[in-house]
Structure formats: C-alpha cells, structure tokens
C-alpha cells in the first residue's frame, strides 16, 4: 500500500527523492524528517551533523516533488529556554510539512546526553507534567491550525531511562490530560497564529 520513510534531512538528495516521487505515483509515500531543533547551536551541541538550513532544503526538495512530509522535534534540548522553544513555532510553521511529532527530552541511560546533563544541569529545561501540559498548550496556540500533531510526548520504556519524572503515565492518558487542559484554558491550536 505504501511506506513512511523516517530519515534525517542530511540523508536525502535529488536522486533519492526522485525515486520516492516515482514510487508515489502508485503508492502512498510519506517522508518524516528528524529535525529535532531549529537552532544550529543546539544541533551542533547534540552532534546531529546537520544544521537547520539543511532541514529547510530537504523539506523544500521534498515539497517540490509533491511528497507529503512530517517532522520530529525534541522539547527540552540543552541550551534552549522555554521562550526559545516557543519561538521555534514560527520556524516550524514556515516548513512545508503537514504533520509534526514532538516529545519531551528523556535521558536514556549510558548516552552522551546523560553526561552532558550531569555536567551542566542548569542548561536543561526540565518539565513537571503540569508544566509540560501548559507549555504545550502555549505551543499549540502558536502552531498553524492545518498542521497535524501526531504526538506531543514520548514514552521510553522505564528500563532504558535514568528517571521517570512523570511516573508511568501512558500516551493515551497524556492526550486526555492535554484535551482537558485546552478546555480549561478555553484555547486551541492556532489561536495566536494569525495575531500580528
């Protein structure tokens, strides 16, 4: 029937995208890019091996071929304040993507990220569950209303992470809590998108 190609923006080129476009004539082909951050300083710090301009180029080349695409971002990467993360919404809105997945930074055991956190904890924005729900509502208000939000938080099995600050809450329950918080705040996706 089709395929979703999850890849990095620095791993595509004209030839690969042409092949996907050809395949898309008879099949469903969706491309999802792991962009992670819109800030070059962050991408360099976490050793992504590409900058944000590379992501913009990959998205533009993909859109030129009419391939639907999504992107993935991590909230809470080192050196990014909450204000910086909110400001990313404008950059995300400019990308020719139709869907986006977010998740909060989680510390997977025995990774360089854990070491970075242990050495520089003040560089990391950590969210309680309540703070994250409110913060994500703030993000939703700024994201364009036609953008499909496929995920707003992630689940890593507890045995792989250094801690589980939100307990063992599952994504379905998180979605229910987010819906309730949006109702409490009487707000919605895109509420601030058109405000100048």
How many Cβ atoms from other residues are within 10 Å of residue 189's Cβ? 19
Residue 157 within a domain: yes
What's the domain count of the chain? 1
Rounded distance, CA 103 to CA 86, Å?
Answer: 14
The pLDDT value given to residue 160: 94
∠ Cα 36 90 153 (to 5°): 40
Radius of gyration over every alpha carbon of the chain, rounded to an integer in angstroms: 17
Rounded to whole angstroms, how far apart are CA atoms 182 and 164?
24
Q: Is residue 193 part of a domain?
A: no
53 burial type by CB count under 10 A (0-12 exposed, 13-18 middle, 19+ buried)? exposed
Note whether residue 63 is domain-resident.
yes
- Residue 104 inside a domain? The answer is yes
How does residue 195 score in pLDDT terms, banded at 50, 70 and 90? Answer: low
Asked if pLDDT for residue 196 goes beyond 80, the answer is: no
29 - beta bridge partners? 3
The percent of residues in the chain predicted with pLDDT above 70, rounded, is: 99
Strand order across the 99-104 sheet: 2-7, 28-36, 69-75, 99-104, 148-151
Whether residue 163 contacts residue 115, with contact meaning beta carbons closer than 8 Å, is answered with no
- CATH at 129: 3.30.750.200
Question: Cα 66 to chain center, whole Å?
Answer: 22
41's tokens: 């300083």
| Longest Cα separation, the chain | 51
Note the pLDDT tens digit of each residue in 40-91.
999 999 999 999 999 999 999 999 999 999 999 999 999 999 999 999 999 9
Give residue-wise pLDDT tens across range 139-179: 999 999 999 999 999 988 999 999 988 988 888 899 999 99
Domain encompassing residue 35: 2-185
């Amino acid at each position: 029937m089709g395929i979703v190609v999850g890849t990095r923006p620095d791993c595509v080129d004209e030839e690969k995208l042409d092949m996907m476009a050809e395949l898309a004539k008879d099949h469903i082909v969706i491309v999802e890019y792991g962009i992670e951050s819109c800030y070059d300083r962050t991408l360099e710090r976490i050793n992504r091996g590409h900058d944000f301009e590379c992501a913009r180029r990959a998205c533009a080349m993909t859109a030129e071929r009419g391939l639907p695409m999504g992107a993935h971002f991590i909230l809470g990467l080192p050196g990014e304040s909450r204000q910086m993360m909110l400001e990313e919404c404008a950059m995300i809105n400019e990308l020719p993507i139709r869907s986006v997945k977010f998740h909060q930074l989680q510390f997977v055991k025995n990774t360089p990220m854990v070491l970075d956190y242990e050495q520089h904890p003040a560089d990391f924005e950590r969210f309680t569950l309540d703070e994250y729900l409110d913060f994500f509502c703030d993000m939703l208000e700024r994201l364009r209303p036609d953008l499909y939000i496929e995920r707003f938080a992630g689940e890593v099995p507890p045995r792989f992470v250094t801690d589980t600050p939100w307990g063992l809450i599952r994504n379905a329950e998180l979605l229910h809590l987010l819906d309730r918080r949006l109702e409490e705040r009487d707000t919605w996706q895109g509420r601030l998108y058109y405000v100048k």
